[in-house]
């Protein structure tokens, strides 16, 4: 028998409502997992439902395991017959039995990311696709997105009519699927797509599973994509006993394909739906919940609800505004040490949340100096990130070239066509004459059997030599930018156009900022000294492993977690919400997603919430001046502590310029794709000079600080009134001189 005294009134309602569609709107910290497990127990113990007929779907194996354990504890005998699994593991079990009906062998292989890349490479080679124009990663992302939306290759090509690039991607998608079929393989997305296809083409198989799963429960429903919605809808169609649990206010994975419409339109898709709201929160103080409610109420596309608690009112929300990120990190580190030393808290009680991974660098350095143990969640330590290690390897090679490990790392990054066989020959020669690997590259003409590979090695050696010569007259900032430009490292990332690539660019920008700060503070800045300083900070692995550590993570990684003390850093417009969301084609939708992310961050805090912002943040080596985040201003001011002082609210300027920018993007999008459009054509002269006022379609008005004439184009440095200092190529920037009155 299940003890229902542990449940509140709304939770009990959700447990007892067993027949027909049910939407449980479960606010943050409202005990939704408890409701789901008790509901399964009630179905078995009180309603006499066979455990065999229950299906519970979660998003992660960890969540599935935890739910399984809870059900086992409550129900005991027979609970092992309940299917508790992720979408993907459920589909694998079904396909292993029936995929022969779709023309596959039941022993099909599931391809991982590396396997997918290999197949895509083969497809591109066979179709003679230029992988500089169509990057494999970008193509795989496009295919994955299509599958999330349940769009077949044929549909994709039909939708792309008139768009040359999309038509090409459609052709690649078709060939990619053919290749998978030939190899009797499925990729991760196919597992769900093929299960839907199976159900749609084989009514007898569908009926079997509809009868098998008479009671279906789906957790984190706000995170489902279109094809997952389709799968659940088909399975539940016969008996309609579908219970979904989710919170539209915590839908933050749009970039992964999540469709918030699935939860918002649930009642339309399933008539006679019972809606139950779980608004009582068991995690946070009332002040924290009021702050979260105050922010999220500014969203229009949501189900109305307001979190409340029987917990105490709690401490006011702390807001601190600093001059720069250095002061911000110093304050956070100081507050943590103060609380730990006074024995009010342990390190594990604290979490620092930020919008992008690049923001972790300053906190990592401060925590190391303050001897505060910490751990990065959902990512790697700043100096351990691939792109940072790559650029540092270039700097080490330029510095002395004796670090074989560094040279090995970058010899083919970005790809230069220097294969493993060539590298082994060079290394063997270096070992035989007792010289470094780079010295062997310098003498590559003496390496036995090197052949034509020397033509690929020499440009790399020349690049390193050239940058060494320039080092004496070049700042570290310029040196890093030169490496990025000459190697095409940042260009490749920009062309990739993915969230991951953008994050990597942000990290590189943060390394540039580090170099600028080092040079400003050093009496005689030297590359070797900079590398020594970085090495001291980067030696983080020497920290002994312990659980009692402050956690650093992005807001996305914080979902589902809770901490007594939470600090949300970088609360500035342009950082959070991100600049991309402010200037998006559909700013309303993007802003609502960012606001939901803010809501998730706030509701992670149990006892105390701190928000920090800075007046000037160094981004990619340049100071940017941003306003305090609009999300901070949306918190009712009476909730902020007496020391929390907000600067005056900025004038409204956004709407008109955002409109102009959107229109410009629409015009660009309607044109047929022509590679010639992107060819840089250097102007004979510019209509403006240093000191002139100019206007940019995206950044608004600003003052020209400097113009540098390069071989390919003019580089213009502009201090924009709103966006701060930006460097840009004249041919792309299309700046217009503003005539003074």
CA distance 372 to 456: 46
Of 206, 238, 250, whose CA–CA distance to 21 is shortest? 238
Q: What is the pLDDT of residues 397-433, one digit of tens each?
A: 998 888 888 899 999 999 888 988 999 999 999 989 8
> In this model, does residue 669 exceed pLDDT 70?
no
pLDDT of amino acid 65? 81
Q: Answer yes or no: 495 catalytic.
A: no
Q: Answer yes or no: 250 catalytic.
A: yes
Average pLDDT, rounded, for the chain? 88
Q: Answer yes or no: 355 catalytic.
A: no
pLDDT of amino acid 664? 42
> In this model, does residue 675 exceed pLDDT 70?
no
Please pick, among 604, 620, 630, 726, the residue that the annotation labels catalytic.
Answer: 604
> In this model, does residue 4 exceed pLDDT 50?
yes
Of 248, 258, 356, whose CA–CA distance to 299 is shortest? 248
CA distance 694 to 689: 10
Q: In 213-359, which ranges are continuous DSSP H helix?
A: 226-236, 261-264, 266-269, 286-296, 325-341
Q: Answer yes or no: 207 catalytic.
A: no
State mean pLDDT over 658-667: 44
Q: Determine whether 438 is exposed, middle or buried from the number of CB atoms within 10 Å of its CB (0-12, 13-18, 19+).
A: buried
What distance lies between CA 416 and its chain's CA centroid?
A: 29
For the ranges 156-170, 258-272, 526-540, 589-603, the lowest mean pLDDT is seen at 526-540
Please pick, among 12, 13, 18, 33, the residue that the annotation labels catalytic.
Answer: 33
State mean pLDDT over 643-659: 58
Confidence at 739, pLDDT banded by 50, 70, 90: confident
pLDDT of amino acid 62? 80
> In this model, does residue 699 exceed pLDDT 60?
yes
> In this model, does residue 672 exceed pLDDT 60?
no
> In this model, does residue 27 exceed pLDDT 90?
yes
pLDDT of amino acid 544? 44
pLDDT of amino acid 115? 87
pLDDT of amino acid 538? 57
Q: CA dihedral defined by 390, 394, 399, 404, rounded to 10 degrees?
A: 70
> In this model, does residue 581 exceed pLDDT 70?
yes
Q: What is the pLDDT of residues 451-483, one digit of tens each?
A: 899 999 999 999 999 999 988 888 999 999 999
> In this model, does residue 303 exceed pLDDT 50?
yes
> In this model, does residue 3 exceed pLDDT 70?
no
Confidence at 663, pLDDT banded by 50, 70, 90: very low
pLDDT of amino acid 676? 37
pLDDT of amino acid 2? 54
CA distance 10 to 713: 65
Please pick, among 11, 195, 250, 359, the residue that the annotation labels catalytic.
Answer: 250
Confidence at 667, pLDDT banded by 50, 70, 90: very low
Which residue in this structure is represented by tokens 């390496």?
A: 447
pLDDT of amino acid 365? 92
Which residue in this structure is represented by tokens 């920090």?
A: 612
Residue of higher predicted confidence among 352 and 109: 352
Confidence at 380, pLDDT banded by 50, 70, 90: confident
pLDDT of amino acid 724? 74
Helix (H, G, I), strand (E, B) or coil at 574: strand
> In this model, does residue 673 exceed pLDDT 80?
no
> In this model, does residue 298 exceed pLDDT 50?
yes
Of 218, 215, 212, 265, whose CA–CA distance to 241 is shortest? 215
- Helical axes 190-201 vs 136-148, angle rounded to 10°: 40
pLDDT of amino acid 712? 62
Please pick, among 10, 175, 219, 490, the residue that the annotation labels catalytic.
Answer: 219
Read out DSSP for 324-377?
Answer: SHHHHHHHHHHHHHHHHHTTS--GGGEEEEESSGGGHHHHHHHHHHTT--EEEE
Q: Answer yes or no: 219 catalytic.
A: yes
State mean pLDDT over 312-324: 96
> In this model, does residue 153 exceed pLDDT 70?
yes
Please pick, among 220, 290, 608, 692, the residue that the annotation labels catalytic.
Answer: 220
What distance lies between CA 333 and its chain's CA centroid?
A: 25
Of 582, 569, 572, 568, whose CA–CA distance to 628 is shortest? 572
Q: What is the pLDDT of residues 5-26, one digit of tens each?
A: 789 999 999 999 999 999 999 9
CA distance 171 to 643: 60
Of 76, 53, 72, 74, whose CA–CA distance to 64 is shortest? 72
Confidence at 661, pLDDT banded by 50, 70, 90: very low
pLDDT of amino acid 683? 66
Please pick, among 11, 32, 286, 481, the residue that the annotation labels catalytic.
Answer: 32
pLDDT of amino acid 666? 47
Of 362, 189, 294, 250, whose CA–CA distance to 639 is shortest? 294
State mean pLDDT over 436-441: 92
State mean pLDDT over 709-731: 76
What share of the chain has pLDDT > 70, as a percent?
92
> In this model, does residue 319 exceed pLDDT 70?
yes
What distance lies between CA 307 and its chain's CA centroid?
A: 27
């Amino acid at each position: 028998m299940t003890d229902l005294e542990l449940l509140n009134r709304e939770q009990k309602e959700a447990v007892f409502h067993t027949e027909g569609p049910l939407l449980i709107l479960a606010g943050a910290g409202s005990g939704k997992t408890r409701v789901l497990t008790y509901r399964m127990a009630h179905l078995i113990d009180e309603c006499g439902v066979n455990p065999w007929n229950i299906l519970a779907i979660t998003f992660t194996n960890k969540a599935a395991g935890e739910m399984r354990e809870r059900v086992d504890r409550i129900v005991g005998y027979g609970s092992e017959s309940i299917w508790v699994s992720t979408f993907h593991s459920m589909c694998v079990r079904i396909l292993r039995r029936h995929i022969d009906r779709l023309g596959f062998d039941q022993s099909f292989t599931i391809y991982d990311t590396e396997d997918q890349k290999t197949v895509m490479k083969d497809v591109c080679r066979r179709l003679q696709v230029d992988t500089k124009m169509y990057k494999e990663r970008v193509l795989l992302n496009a295919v994955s997105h299509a599958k999330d939306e349940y769009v077949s290759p044929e549909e994709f090509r039909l939708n792309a009519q008139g768009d040359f690039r999309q038509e090409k991607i459609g052709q690649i998608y078709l060939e990619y699927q053919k290749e998978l079929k030939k190899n009797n393989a499925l990729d991760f997305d196919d597992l769900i797509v093929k299960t839907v296809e199976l159900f749609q083409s084989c009514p007898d198989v569908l009926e079997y599973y509809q009868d098998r799963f008479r009671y279906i429960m789906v957790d984190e429903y706000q995170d489902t994509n279109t094809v997952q919605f389709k799968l659940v809808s088909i399975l539940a169609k016969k008996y309609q006993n579908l219970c979904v649990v989710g919170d539209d206010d915590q839908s933050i994975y749009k970039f992964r394909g999540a469709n918030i419409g699935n939860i918002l339109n649930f009642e339309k898709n399933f008539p006679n739906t019972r809606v139950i709201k779980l608004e009582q929160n068991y995690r946070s103080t009332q002040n924290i919940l009021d702050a979260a409610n105050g922010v999220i109420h500014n969203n229009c596309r949501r189900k109305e609800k307001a979190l409340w608690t029987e917990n105490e009112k709690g401490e006011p929300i702390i807001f601190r505004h600093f001059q720069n990120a250095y002061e911000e990190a110093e304050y956070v580190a100081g507050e943590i040490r103060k609380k730990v030393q006074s024995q009010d808290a342990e390190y594990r009680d604290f979490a620092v949340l930020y919008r992008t991974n690049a923001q972790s660098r300053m906190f990592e350095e401060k925590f190391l100096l303050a001897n505060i143990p910490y751990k990065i969640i959902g990512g790697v330590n700043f100096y351990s990130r691939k792109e940072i290690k790559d650029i540092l390897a270039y700097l080490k090679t330029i510095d002395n070239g004796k670090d074989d490990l560094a040279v090995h790392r970058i010899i083919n990054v970005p790809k230069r066509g220097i294969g493993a066989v060539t590298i082994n020959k060079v290394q063997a020669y270096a070992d035989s004459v007792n010289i470094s690997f780079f010295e062997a590259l310098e003498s590559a003409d003496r390496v036995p059997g090197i052949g034509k590979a020397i033509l690929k090695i020499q440009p790399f050696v020349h690049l390193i030599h050239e940058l060494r010569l320039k080092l004496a007259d070049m700042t570290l900032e310029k040196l890093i930018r030169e490496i990025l430009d000459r190697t095409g490292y940042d260009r490749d990332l920009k062309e990739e156009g993915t969230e991951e690539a953008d994050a990597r660019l942000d990290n590189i920008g943060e390394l540039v900022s580090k170099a600028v700060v080092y040079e400003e503070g050093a009496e005689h800045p030297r590359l070797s000294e900079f590398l020594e300083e970085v090495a001291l900070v980067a030696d983080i692995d020497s920290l002994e492993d312990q659980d009692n550590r402050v956690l650093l993570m992005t807001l996305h990684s914080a979902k589902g977690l809770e901490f007594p003390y939470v600090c949300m850093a970088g609360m500035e417009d342009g950082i959070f919400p991100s600049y991309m969301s402010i200037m998006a084609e559909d700013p309303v939708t993007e802003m609502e997603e960012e606001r939901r992310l803010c809501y998730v961050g706030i509701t992670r805090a149990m006892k105390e919430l701190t928000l920090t912002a800075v007046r000037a943040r160094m981004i990619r080596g340049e100071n940017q001046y941003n306003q305090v985040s609009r999300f901070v201003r949306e918190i009712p001011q009476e909730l902020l502590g007496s020391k929390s002082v907000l600067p005056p609210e900025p004038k409204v300027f956004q709407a008109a310029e955002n409109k102009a920018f959107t229109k410009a993007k629409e015009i660009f999008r309607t044109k047929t794709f022509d590679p010639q459009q992107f060819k840089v054509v250097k102007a004979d002269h510019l209509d403006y000079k240093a000191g002139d006022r100019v206007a940019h379609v995206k950044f608004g008005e600003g003052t020209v600080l400097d113009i540098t004439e390069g071989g390919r184009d003019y580089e213009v440095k502009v201090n924009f009134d709103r966006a701060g200092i930006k460097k840009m190529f004249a041919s792309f920037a299309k700046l217009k001189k503003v005539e003074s009155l």
